[in-house]
Amino acid sequence: MTRLLDARNLRAAYRTQDGRLVRAVDDVSVHVDEGEVLGVAGESGCGKSTLGAILSLNVRSPLQVESGTLDIEGKRQDFGASAKIPRTWRGSVVSLLPQGAMNSISPTMRVRDLCFDVVRAHDRRARRSDALDRVRDRIADLGLPPRVLDAYPHQLSGGMKQRVVTVISTLLNPRLLIADEPTSALDVSSQRALIEMLKEMLEQKIMAGVIFVTHDLPVLRTVSDRIAVMYAGKIVEVADAGDLVDRPRHPYSAALLSSVLVPEPRYRTMRVKGIPGAPPNLLDPPPGCRFHPRCGLAMPQCHTDEPPTDGTELRYSACHWSAQHPGESVPVEAATRDELDGGEPLDRAGEPVALAGDGTGVGR
């Protein structure tokens, strides 16, 4: 299998008004193979959307990428203060499928005008009729009604709008599509339609790979081949989708799974538990393992030492516990604490139990 994307040591931060840095993505490396869907999961504020913004080359102030490299099909791009990434990469090499497609099209323009603008932005000599013919074919291929081209965004339903935006995002056959919570605002049947469409596009080789960012584990289980779980700006576990859901090796993955309804036999009999506490403040992340204040398996070294990475590039877990128990999966019941210890250096400790993964899973 050929390597499509290889991103190494990405580090990015938001600069606050008073000049401090909130490092939302801290030394993250991911890769995507040809034809693969990589899911990125995590609760709100874990940095998954920031990662999506970096990978889709859509970084805007106050977010700054501090370091990292990006290889897409052999083309290398260094991030950093002076990095100049060609504008035309966006949309043709990597493309963004945004969260909240509701407002992704300017309210005063027709869908076909945006389509033409996208084509023309990458090919100055493109003719309007040719471009629109191409769009029309694409829309017919994917089973959308042709009238959507002439519609204004307010004339489309939410699910239809999201599918139209998906078509626009993939109009130029980008190599990699970064889908940032595309299903989050949709009802279950629209989610299903969108996911079917993405799969269809992968089959037709419209794009070569997808990174699917969401907090919705059940959706992720259906669409992705591999899943990366993020916590507090770092990737804590990577595994095949089935493997991760069935045999999580990182306590956070296990805790995340136990906090949503997953229709897997192993979880079906369990009560939905939350993860006590809240994610750490990234202005001042806890020392050692960032999850230790909320972890049921925390050991003394978790408070002080960065966890080692145990496993291979394709299946690893960054955890002291899993380093001591290679190949074992985390006992789900033990992974979360029932309550927090007093005096823990946990940001906003003492607040009521937070449900991880804001959306409770939909029963798919």
Partner 1 sequence: MQFARYLLRRTLWLLVTFVAAMVLVFLLIRLVPGNPVDAIVAQMTRGGGGSGEQVRAIYDNYMREFGLDLPLWQQFLVFCQNVLQGDFGTSFAQYPAPVTAMIGQALPWSIAIQLPAIVVGWLVGNVVGAVAAFRGGWFDKGAFLTSIFATSVPYYCLAIILLFVVAVRMQILPAGGGYSFGLSPELTLTFFGDAITYFWLPFWSLVIVFIGGQAVGMRSMAIYELGSDYVNYARGLGIGDNRITRYIFRNAMLPQLSGLALSIGGMIGGALITELVFNYPGLGTLLFTAISSNDYPVIQAIVLLITIAVLLANFLVDVVNGLIDPRIRAAETGDR
Among 25, 32, 105, 335, binds partner 1 (CB under 8 A): 105
Enumerate residues 44-83 that contact partner 1 by CB under 8 A: 56-58, 60
169 binds partner 1 (CB under 8 A): yes
Among 18, 74, 84, 107, binds partner 1 (CB under 8 A): 107
In degrees and rounded to multiples of 5, residue 7 shows phi and psi of: -110, 130
Q: What would you measure as the largest C-alpha separation in the chain, in angstroms?
A: 68
Length of the chain: 364
Q: Please spell the DSSP secondary structure of 227-294, one letter per residue.
A: EEEEETTEEEEEEEHHHHHHS--SHHHHHHHHTS---SHHHHTSPP--BSS-PPPTTSPPSSSTTGGG
CB nearer to partner 1: pick between 208 and 254: 208
* One character per residue 286-315, x = contact with partner 1 (rule: CB under 8 A): ------------------------------
Task: Provide, rounded to whole angstroms, the least separation between the CB of residue 211 and partner 1.
Answer: 13
Task: Provide, rounded to whole angstroms, the least separation between the CB of residue 139 and partner 1.
Answer: 17
CB nearer to partner 1: pick between 56 and 322: 56
* Contact in structure between 42 and 50 (CB atoms under 8 Å): no
CB nearer to partner 1: pick between 109 and 270: 109
DSSP class of 145: -
- Give the full edge-to-edge strand order of the sheet including 37-41: 94-97, 176-180, 209-213, 37-41, 226-231, 234-240, 316-318, 309-311
117 binds partner 1 (CB under 8 A): yes
* Contact in structure between 79 and 68 (CB atoms under 8 Å): yes
204 binds partner 1 (CB under 8 A): no
* Start-end of H helices in 6-67: 48-55
Number of residues this chain uses to bind partner 1 (CB under 8 A)? 33
Determine the interface stretch with partner 1 among 41-49, 89-97, 297-305, 315-323 (rule: CB under 8 A): 89-97
3-state secondary structure of 344: coil
CB nearer to partner 1: pick between 142 and 257: 142
As a whole number of angstroms, the distance between CA 11 and CA 24 comes to 8
Task: Provide, rounded to whole angstroms, the least separation between the CB of residue 86 and partner 1.
Answer: 9
Q: Is 137 exposed, middle or buried (0-12, 13-18, 19+ CB in 10 A)?
A: exposed
84 binds partner 1 (CB under 8 A): no
87 binds partner 1 (CB under 8 A): yes
Among 15, 16, 20, 109, binds partner 1 (CB under 8 A): 109
As a whole number of angstroms, the distance between CA 216 and CA 39 comes to 10
183 binds partner 1 (CB under 8 A): no
Binding site for partner 1 (CB under 8 A): 56-58, 60, 87-92, 95-96, 98, 100, 102-109, 114, 117-118, 121-122, 152, 154-155, 165, 168-169
